[in-house]
Amino acid sequence: MNNSYNHSLSANSQLAQKSVNRCFDGEQHYYSHQSTSTKTSMTFSIYLPDEALAGRRCPAVLYLSGLTCNADNVTHKAHFQQKCSELGMIFIAPDTSPRSSEDVEVPNDERYFVGQGASYYVDALQAPWAEHFNMQSYIVDELYDLLRSEFPIDSIGITGHSMGGHGALLLGFKFPGKFVSVSALSPVCAASESAWGQAAYEAYFGDDKSLWAQADAAQMIEKVGQQYSSILVDQGAADDFLAEGQLQTSKLQHACEKTKQPLTLRYQAGHDHSYYFIQTVINDHIEHHWRMAQLS
């Protein structure tokens, strides 16, 4: 392929480039690398607008995906590329957990909300999960540093969908020095009070509920208090998972009210939990992160 803008990695880069496709005025790239946090190979996608391909520092947004997803779902279905091309924004989508491969056997669970595809972006504390399931460290330390060393990134915001919305809120408030902005789509707002999260935290943390509370986004916000000038959350009003109590959006609203963390919370009529909803609101989230980056 004729990619005149193609990005150059560092001389001894840990990254192996898997694919490059031109998309709007930029390129969609995929990379794999051996992770020290998860002790597996990890794959992420990154959209680089031409400004970044030309070496100019750009704001970036890190998108954490939901249960069962990998980097492909959001990269193929969310349609962030057009807005990122227009604004000159980098968009990074990591995987949702370590995965088994020919080289390494990673624990799993037959329930889709525990194990591979369901890390909840925490560092697991008990066997058999603790060896590989260290996604908090992977995201906020290892991948974060790798991205900053390999790409012309100015500042990083964090967002995500569903379990990834939980991850964005949790990590955004736990590590506010790392991120300039936070938003979430259909987030699991109180993982320790949702059936999905309870099953996962029993596996990853055991019975000590104080550990669950430390990995609950709403409780994290209550604990650390206001950190951002505003955060943006979109939620489909016809989302079945909201009705069945997996998302606990009211807990997020309560935590933000209590701490005076400004929250723009939008319930979107008729919308469900799918990528059709994600694509409907993603541009507003990219613009939110863009504006916050300008202010940072």
Catalytic status, residue 284: no
Question: Smallest distance from the beta carbon of 76 to a copy of itself, in angstroms?
Answer: 5
Binding site for a copy of itself (CB under 8 A): 1-5, 21-24, 27-28, 76-77, 79, 81-82, 236-238, 240, 268-272, 274-277, 279-280
User: DSSP 3-state assignment of 26?
Assistant: strand
Within the chain, where are the H helices?
50-53, 71-77, 81-87, 135-137, 144-150, 163-174, 195-205, 209-213, 217-224, 240-243, 249-259, 275-295
Catalytic status, residue 273: yes
Catalytic status, residue 76: no
* Angle, CA 60 vertex, CA 63 and CA 289 arms, to 5°: 80
Q: Select 2 or 210, whichever has its Cβ closest to a copy of itself.
A: 2
- Please say whether the beta carbons of 37 and 141 come within 8 A: yes
Q: Which of 166, 239, 288, 289 is catalytic?
A: 239
Question: Smallest distance from the beta carbon of 3 to a copy of itself, in angstroms?
Answer: 6
Q: Select 24 or 175, whichever has its Cβ closest to a copy of itself.
A: 24
Question: Smallest distance from the beta carbon of 151 to a copy of itself, in angstroms?
Answer: 19
Q: Select 77 or 254, whichever has its Cβ closest to a copy of itself.
A: 77
Q: Select 78 or 171, whichever has its Cβ closest to a copy of itself.
A: 78
Question: Smallest distance from the beta carbon of 85 to a copy of itself, in angstroms?
Answer: 8
Q: Which of 161, 271, 273, 289 is catalytic?
A: 273
CA distances from 175 to 105, 182, 267, 293 (A): 31, 11, 27, 16
Distance of CA 249 to the CA centre of its chain: 18
The closest of 129, 58, 67, 56 to 92, measured between CA atoms, is 58
Q: Could you list the active site residues?
A: 162, 239, 273
